[in-house]
Amino acid sequence: MPLEFKITHKCSYTAARAGKLKTAHATVSTPAFMPVGTQGTVKAITTDELAAMGTGIILSNCYHLFLRPGVELIARHGGLHKFMNWPGAILTDSGGFQVFSLGGLRKLNDQGVVFTSHIDGSTHFLTPERVMRLQNIIGSDIAMILDQCPPYPAEREEVEDAVRRTTLWAKRSKEAHINSDQAAFAIIQGGVYGDLRERSAKELVELNFDGYAIGGLSVGEPKHLMYEVLDSTVPELPQEKVHYLMGVGSPDALLEGVRYGIDIFDCVLPTRIARNGRVMTSEGYLPVRNSAFAYDLEPLDKACSCPVCKNYSRAYIRHLINAGEILGLRLTTYHNLYYLDRLMREIREALSEDRFEEYYRKVSPQLTKMYGGVV
C-alpha cells in the first residue's frame, strides 16, 4: 500500500485524533502542519533545517514545477525527493487553486483547463489525467487530484457546477493514477453551502481515495463559516482515512481544525509573513521590523526554545531585515515554522495523554484573541 494511516488516540469529547501516517518515504505523526515548498523549496529554509526542527512532511506544487523547471529534469534526478534533497514525505498539490486563481488567463470545460503561464505567457492544457501523470513522474508520496476551486463569495449555481466537475475529474484522476508507491487524495468542494459540501463528500467517498482534502476554504471567508463547513463535512468522511484541510495555517484555526477531526494542514502564512518581518509568538503577532524594536534586546519570543530565540535579539533581526540582509528573513522564517511545529507537538501530546479537551479550553481563547479574525 502507498499509504498507511493508523489512529493512535481519540479525544472522548471532540472529533480530535492523533495518528501515524506512513508513506513510501517517512512516517509522520499527526495532527501535522506541512510547510509549503511550492517550487521544490520551502522559502529561506534548507531541508536539513526543516528536518532538525521536526518537520516530517512538506507540500510542493505540481503546477509550478511543471512550468519550471519541468518534470523531465526532476525525473532525471530520480524524483522530487532527490532533486531537493528531502528525506521526509512530500504532498504535491495539483495546481487547481493556482490555475483557477488566474481568472482571465484560463478557460475551463469538462475536459480540462487551458491557461496562460504567469511566467512567459505560454499556453498549456491540463486535464485530470495529465495532472496525475505529472505527479506520478514527480514521485511525491501523496498526489492531489485536479479540482475546480470556486471563489468566495460565489453564487450557488457556480459552486454546484464546481462540485459536479470536481467529481467528474476525480473519477478520471482515479483511473489515470498508476504509481503504486504514491497515494491519491480527492478534494471536496462546495463553498460555504453545507448541502453541497455533503454531496461532494459522499460522491468522492464512493470512489475510495486514500485520503480526503477539504478545499475551497481560507479564501477570504470568515472563520466561523469555515468551522461550519468543517462541522458539516468531516462527519461524512471515512474515519480511517486521512483528513486534510487545505490552505489553513493561523494558530487558532489549526487548533480548531484538529478539534473538528483534521489530521494535516498546509499554508504559506508562516513563511510569507516572515518575509515581511512579522513573527508568531506566545503573545501574538510581532512586527519585528518596526522601529519600536530598534533597541530591544529581548528574543522574538521568551517562551520559545528555537535556535533563533536562543541566539538573536529583536534589535539584531530588525537590523538585518531593514538592511536588506537575507539572514533576517531566514531567521524569522525558521522561528515561525518552529512555532507552528511546537504548537502541533503540544496538540499531539495533549491527545496522547487524554487531556485534549482541557488543553483546548485553556489555549483556544488565547489563540483566538491573538490570531482570530479572517483566515
Q: Judge whether 129 lies within some domain.
A: yes
Query: Is pLDDT at 230 greater than 50 in this prediction?
Result: yes
Provide mean pLDDT across the span 66-74. Answer: 97
pLDDT reported for residue 116 = 87
Query: Is pLDDT at 33 greater than 70 in this prediction?
Result: yes
pLDDT reported for residue 95 = 84
- Enter the C-alpha cell of residue 208: 475510495
Domain with residue 227: its CATH number is: 3.20.20.105
Q: Last residue of some domain: 247, 267, 287?
A: 267
Together in a domain, 362 and 329: yes
Together in a domain, 189 and 313: no
Query: Is pLDDT at 341 greater than 50 in this prediction?
Result: yes
What single DSSP character describes residue 145?
P
Contact between 144 and 187 (Cβ < 8 Å): yes
Together in a domain, 313 and 235: no
CA 275/CA 323 separation, integer angstroms: 13
- Report the number of distinct structural domains present in the chain: 2
Q: Judge whether 374 lies within some domain.
A: no
Is residue 274 helix, strand or coil? helix
CA 181/CA 203 separation, integer angstroms: 25
Domain that holds residue 31: 4-267
CA 158/CA 166 separation, integer angstroms: 12
Together in a domain, 238 and 290: no
Provide mean pLDDT across the span 335-356. Answer: 98
Would you name the residues annotated as active-site residues?
93, 266
Q: Is residue 315 very low, low, confident or very high in pLDDT (cuts 50, 70, 90)?
A: very high
Which three-class secondary structure string do you get for 77-108? CCCHHHHHCCCCEEEEECCHHHHHCCHHHEEE
Together in a domain, 65 and 94: yes
Together in a domain, 180 and 314: no
Together in a domain, 30 and 166: yes
Provide mean pLDDT across the span 118-136. Answer: 94
Q: Judge whether 373 lies within some domain.
A: no
- Write the pLDDT tens digit of every residue in 174-201: 999 999 999 999 999 999 999 999 999 9
Q: Last residue of some domain: 223, 248, 267?
A: 267
Question: To which residue does cell 514521485 refer?
Answer: 139
pLDDT reported for residue 101 = 78
What single DSSP character describes residue 41?
S
Q: Last residue of some domain: 219, 240, 267?
A: 267
pLDDT reported for residue 374 = 52
Q: Judge whether 84 lies within some domain.
A: yes
| pTM as predicted | 0.97
Together in a domain, 235 and 313: no
pLDDT reported for residue 375 = 46
Q: Judge whether 372 lies within some domain.
A: no
